[in-house]
Structure 1
């Protein structure tokens, strides 16, 4: 288990991030709260016919619950993101060929990134989730642009095969969101709201 280097908690309970994503870890550090990190080890396979938004919410809660079972007194944060292309879920490509195929399908299209966050505490009985929807319009990308981008950034661990916080911003025409960090992987406005509802004091 890793620990973020922040002093004096504003929490009466241990805070655990149920994710090994470096993007979510870096985002959560912005809140300047001490937290531990633990892998949830949850199967992320969609259920038959499962739509992207319910999939993201189910997985966020499943990740939080899986780690909460090991830390019943803690506040556990789970999160999941699914790229939604006309109702079809697109997950992490995992490799170059799948990333090329994803970006080719998304070029010139609007894609909704469904980013869910959940907070669970078994001892208090708290378990809530929220969903942030980010609409992204991709440029009409040429194949050579896709290839250059993927070779430069290798975003194979990102849903939708693009990092908006990096070079991937050059692939886009527009982003529409009410929670700016949601596209990176953790909607902090909603995370703060859930933590406050669970009893945490934030700055």
Structure 2
């Protein structure tokens, strides 16, 4: 088993990767996450996931490096992390009763010299319909969970699930920030075995 490195400081992604019961370390990549002019949300997510993995690869030979990025969109417009209560409330007001698409991009970079697939990329979408809730409930939710570091201002793995009416995705973990079904496929292609005695 080569070294496995998660290119993220996200506690959500660390928790998700821990579910696979593989030893790994986490390194926070230092990259500019600004979307390029005219870049589609999917292209932004894929580019940033790859950039995060490549930023770590420079100092990580013989490793499998995971890069992830998520871009939320409403009516084709990107929705970022709110950062504070006021921005989060504005996001939730805008999204209530509507569908938001979350593009969760995943990159597995294999820096071993004999790598069969040096680079694997995928984008898994989650289509999320938010409930049409009054301002008072949205404000109360934000004060309880304070999801200011989450694109879309709601933690589906926490109380934020009460804001959501429906989730459609091929991978239920994609919305939380790292699609584990896609990742386990990539890791298998890289020779990782999950069920060893």
Q: CA deviation at 1:110?
A: 0.4
Structural mapping, 1:85-104, within 5 Å: 85-104=74-93
Structure 2 residue corresponding to 1:127, chosen from 103, 111, 119: 119
Q: CA deviation at 1:202?
A: 2.1
The number of residues matched between the two structures is 192
Distance 2:149 2:84 in 1: 8
**Helix, strand or coil for the counterpart of 1:34?**
coil
Distance 2:30 2:120 in 1: 20
Distance 1:142 1:173 in 2: 14
- In structure 1, the gaps of 5 or more residues are 1-10
Moved segments of 4+, more than 3 Å: none
CA deviation map 1:118-166 (0-9, x unaligned): 0002333611111110000001121111110100000011111000111
- RMSD in angstroms over aligned alpha carbons? 1.1
CA deviation map 1:6-32 (0-9, x unaligned): xxxxx1x10000000000000000110
**Structure-1 residue corresponding to 2:162:** 170
Distance 1:149 1:168 in 2: 7
**Structure-2 residue corresponding to 1:200:** 192
- In structure 2, the gaps of 5 or more residues are none
CA deviation map 1:33-59 (0-9, x unaligned): 000110011111111122211111111
**Structure-1 residue corresponding to 2:181:** 189
Checking the alignment, whether the CA contact within 8 Å between 1:51 and 1:88 is kept in structure 2 is no
Checking the alignment, whether the CA contact within 8 Å between 1:82 and 1:89 is kept in structure 2 is yes
**Helix, strand or coil for the counterpart of 1:173?**
strand
Distance 1:119 1:178 in 2: 19
Q: CA deviation at 1:72?
A: 2.2
TM-score, normalised by the number of residues in structure 1: 0.91
Distance 1:73 1:93 in 2: 37
